[in-house]
Amino acid sequence: SSPIQNIGAYGVEFKQFCLYVDCVDLHSGESVRLGNSDCRFGYRDSIFKHDYQNRYAITGIGLRLPKQWSPVLTYGDLTRLSPDTVTPRQVFDAVCHMRRTKLPDPKEYGNAGSFFKNPVITAQEASALFIHYPDAPRYPQTDGQVKLAAGWLIDRCDMKGHRVGGAAVHRHQALVLINEHNATSEDVVKLAHEVRQRVGEKFNVWLEPEVRFIGSVGEVNAVETIA
């Protein structure tokens, strides 16, 4: 599943290390190997979510890892570590600490991790936003656009702890929606809708779900479902 989502966390994405993806053509049974560029990786996105969604089944991946370790210290608590002296163990411990303190234990509250994608906006839109919210976290992209922190946007809308039925916005990490008490799928959809509307009305930034929505007859459009 990692190529489908181009999974990533703490400043690193799958596409940075993917050499190839092996697949089986579901129509012909033929084995196919796709190179990195063939996968059209994007932010939490790939060709497997679109053109190849019903065509290929992924059977394997090839990774290329650098022999010389180079720490990525661009996210959260990792920015406090020194690139000159940090060890892999320190990075590991810092990531584990962030996850323990900010993310809910799925044994206690059912959740799907980060519910929304971090939105990516144009440089012009970002400049207008930062005039009013200069403290907003921002992550410049190689194509000139700017990635925002969805959790920060939701938090500034005072939605931590906000609840619809049995579903709630996590009190420590606004990016996570949880099953607080026997939530139904309808509760989750309504809550996601309210979060999206509140953020859109305040910042003119419209969040998209990172999770995939499965209906009674298969996958449905997540954005349309909560719009």
65, burial (CB in 10 Å: exposed 0-12, middle 13-18, buried 19+):
exposed
Instruction: Choose the catalytic residue: 46, 180, 196, 210.
Output: 210
Instruction: Return the beta strands (E) in 176-227 as ranges.
Output: 176-179, 213-215, 218-220
Residue 13 among the catalytic residues: no
List 46, 114, 180, 196, catalytic entry: 114
Residue with tokens 């939701």: 154
Six token digits for residue 35: 């190179």
Please identify which of the residues 1, 40, 44, 198 carries the catalytic annotation: 44
Q: Which of 51, 64, 45 is nearest to 118 (CA)?
A: 45
Would residue 219 show up in a list of annotated catalytic residues for this protein?
A: no
Task: Indicate if 1 belongs to the active site.
Answer: no
* Structure tokens given for 36: 């990195």
Q: Is 135 exposed, middle or buried (0-12, 13-18, 19+ CB in 10 A)?
A: exposed
The Cα 56–Cα 31 span in angstroms is 9
Determine the residue type at 79: T
Residues taking part in catalysis = 44, 114, 210
